[in-house]
Amino acid sequence: MTVDRWHHFRENLLGWYRPERRPMPWKEHNDPYNIWLSEIILQQTRVEQGTAYYERFAATYPTVRDLARAPDDEVMKLWEGLGYYSRARNLLKAARMVVDQYDGDFPDTYVGLLKLPGVGPYTAAAIASFAFDRQVAVLDGNVYRVLSRYAGVATPTDSTAGKHQFSELATLALGEAPAARFNQAIMDFGALVCTPRKAACKVCPLAKACVALAENRVYDLPVKEKKLKRRDRHFHYLVIKDDSERTIIQQRSEKDIWQDLYQFPLLETPKKTLASADLPLHPDWPAWLPAGELTFRKRSQPFKQQLTHQTIYATFHTFHWKLMPGSGEGFVVTQNKLLDNFAFPRVIAKFIEDKRLLLDLF
């Protein structure tokens, strides 16, 4: 593709761009902390959902120092419902690193930013350009789509060759344009005009030189190499309550989804259904839980939660335990009304909420 076509791209894209088309609270900032916070929160999250979380985090922790000194559990609780909890853990790690190693100032280069936990190439480029005016081009899903269609490039975006090629194209497209404005423009353009399924080619200011449009390949691009594979997992939670409005929860410690979040004691099975009477026979039935002292009460319908690579089906089995002890090793006994102090995966939070609405349990 010739230099002229990229000139055309830049000029028309910047001519199209109006920041007010996609107003977002963090766009008003050029403070690296706010930009970093918003970028981490928005990874794999819809803007509508992410905005509320961003505002809550920015209000609770106005500076990186405030965030760095926050207790882990408090941050996880504030993150509850956003998913991908490793991002929350990295958020804290990075904030503490900025305070401890950089005296509270974010690194001001692309390479320096990449050293922060949870900051990959996209986030580093976004912060470097938005906060520090560095001449680096961002590459996210929107940008891949716009570039691959405009240039007619079918190299898979998730292949090594594709990453390399698109990074070159993005740099070519950016040229000498003001990076912050250009990066914001191309991402907004992908979100509003060159969208995955309803591209507005008829009114597109880039249409004249768009290869995909000329070759009728708009919806064939971009190409991905790997098809997303999903697996089903079947979780059976033991909801154990006593007469004093107490219940038992545990913190997840395994290297698995939802690490560090809380849950009811869990048994995982390869199949969807498991008779409640058979639960004590499960090899992972907790040794501290005397099955003979529990009275089975009821079983919920399966609750479903869709994650990127997994579909979770969660069934809640409720038991009564007359002589429930206090907290022990590996489990916490808590008052039901205090459950809100703990961060749960969304599927459990939903179960608790439903129960409350029915005035049934918690």
By annotation, the residues acting in catalysis are: 39
Residue in 70, 153, 204, 239 binding ligand SF4, rule: CB under 6 A: 204
Least Å from the CB of residue 12 to ligand SF4: 10
Give which of 109, 85, 146 is closest to 32, Cα–Cα: 109
Residue in 213, 238, 249, 361 binding ligand SF4, rule: CB under 6 A: 213
Residue in 201, 324, 333, 339 binding ligand SF4, rule: CB under 6 A: 201
Q: 338 and 348 in contact (C-beta within 8 Å)?
A: no
Q: Is 150 in the site for ligand SF4 (CB under 6 A)?
A: yes
Q: Is 10 in the site for ligand SF4 (CB under 6 A)?
A: no
CA–CA gap between residue 185 and residue 175 (Å, rounded): 14
Give which of 179, 188, 176 is closest to 146, Cα–Cα: 188
| Max CA separation in the chain (angstroms) | 79
- 3-state SS of the chain: helix, strand, coil percent to 5? 50, 15, 40
In DSSP terms, 318 is beta-bridged to: 239, 298
Q: Is 200 in the site for ligand SF4 (CB under 6 A)?
A: yes
Which pair of tokens denotes residue 314?
């969660």
Choose the binding region for ligand SF4 from 32-40, 91-99, 191-199, 278-286 (rule: CB under 6 A). Answer: 191-199
Least Å from the CB of residue 16 to ligand SF4: 10
Least Å from the CB of residue 212 to ligand SF4: 5
Q: 272 and 234 in contact (C-beta within 8 Å)?
A: yes
Contacts (CB under 6 A) with ligand SF4, residues 87-126 = none
Give which of 347, 121, 341 is closest to 247, Cα–Cα: 341
Least Å from the CB of residue 98 to ligand SF4: 38
Q: Is 210 in the site for ligand SF4 (CB under 6 A)?
A: yes
| Of 206 and 343, CB closest to ligand SF4 | 206
Number of residues that bind ligand SF4 (CB under 6 A): 15
Q: Is 6 in the site for ligand SF4 (CB under 6 A)?
A: no
DSSP class of 331 = B
